[in-house]
C-alpha cells in the first residue's frame, strides 16, 4: 500500500487549488492518504487583514482560479478580504481538522474541503472557532465539533504533535512550500512539490497505478 502524506495549511490558497487532486487521492483504494497541517499561517500574533494584503491575496487567488478551476467568489472578496478586524491565522482551522482526525479520520479530506469552501466560496470566517464548529456539525461531524468547542487538552496536544511532525518532515526532505505530497511506496520517501501537483491533472490515478513512475 502506497502512503501519501499531504502537507498543507487550511489558509493556503494554493492548497485550496489542489483540493480536487487531494479528493481524488483519497478516493483511490490503492492509496492511504494522511493529512498533516504544517502550521504555516498558524500564529498567535498573525497580522490583521489590510488593503495591501487583500489586493495581493486577490491577485494570487485569480491566478490559482485560472490554473486550477477552483472558484474564488465575489462574496469571499467582499466579506473576507475586506474584514480588517480578522487576523490571518489558520490556527483555529488547523485545530478543527485535528478534531476530525481524532474522531473520524476518514472524513478529514471532506472536512478540509468544507472549510476551504466556506471561506473561498461562501465568504465565511474560518478563523472563528464557532464558525468552524458549525461547519463540522453540518457535515455532520458532531463529536469533532464538540471537541473543537471544548478545546480539550488531548485535542491541543494532538494538534501540536501533528504540526511538529509536519515541521520535522519539512526539515528532513527540504520542503520549500505547500501544498506538497510525500510519497512512500515502501522503497523510501519521495517529495512532490506544488508545481508537480498542478502539472499532473491525473496525478491520483498515476500514483495509484505506478507510484514509482511519478
Per-residue model confidence as pLDDT tens for the chain (214 residues): 899 999 999 999 999 999 999 999 999 999 999 999 999 999 877 888 999 999 999 999 999 999 999 999 999 999 999 999 999 999 999 999 999 999 999 999 999 999 999 999 999 999 999 999 999 999 999 999 999 999 899 999 999 999 999 999 999 999 999 999 999 988 889 999 999 999 998 999 999 987 877 8
> Alpha helix (H) ranges present in the chain?
13-17, 19-26, 51-68, 74-75, 91-103, 108-120, 129-138, 142-150, 153-173, 194-198, 203-209
Q: Please give the DSSP secondary-structure letter assigned to residue 87.
A: B
Displacement of CA 127 from its chain's centroid (Å) = 13
Task: Kindly report the number of other CB atoms within 10 A of residue 185's CB atom.
Answer: 17
The 10 Å CB-count burial string (b at 16+, else e) for 8-17 is bbbbbbbbbb
Contact predicate 90/40, CB 8 Å: yes
pTM: 0.96
| CATH architecture of the domain with residue range 2-213 | 3-Layer(aba) Sandwich (3.40)
Amino acid at each position: 500500500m502506497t502512503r501519501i502524506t499531504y502537507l498543507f495549511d487550511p489558509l493556503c490558497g494554493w492548497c485550496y487549488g489542489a483540493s480536487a487532486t487531494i479528493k481524488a487521492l483519497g478516493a483511490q483504494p490503492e492509496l492511504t492518504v494522511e493529512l498533516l497541517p504544517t502550521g504555516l499561517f498558524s500564529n498567535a500574533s498573525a497580522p490583521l487583514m489590510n488593503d495591501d494584503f487583500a489586493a495581493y491575496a486577490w491577485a494570487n487567488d485569480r491566478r490559482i482560479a485560472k490554473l486550477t478551476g477552483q472558484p474564488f467568489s465575489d462574496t469571499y472578496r467582499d466579506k473576507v478580504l475586506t474584514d480588517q478586524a480578522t487576523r490571518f491565522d489558520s490556527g483555529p482551522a488547523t485545530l478543527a481538522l485535528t478534531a476530525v482526525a481524532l474522531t473520524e479520520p476518514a472524513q478529514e479530506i471532506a472536512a478540509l474541503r468544507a472549510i476551504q469552501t466556506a471561506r473561498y466560496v461562501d465568504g465565511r470566517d474560518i478563523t472563528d472557532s464557532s464558525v468552524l464548529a458549525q461547519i463540522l456539525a453540518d457535515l455532520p461531524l458532531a463529536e469533532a465539533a464538540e471537541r473543537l468547542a471544548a478545546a480539550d487538552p488531548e485535542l491541543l496536544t494532538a494538534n501540536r504533535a501533528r504540526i511538529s511532525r509536519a515541521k520535522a518532515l519539512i526539515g528532513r526532505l527540504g520542503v520549500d512550500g505547500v501544498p506538497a505530497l510525500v510519497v512512500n511506496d515502501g522503497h523510501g520517501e519521495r517529495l512532490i512539490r506544488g508545481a508537480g501537483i498542478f502539472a499532473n491533472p491525473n496525478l491520483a490515478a498515476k500514483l495509484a497505478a505506478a507510484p514509482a513512475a511519478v
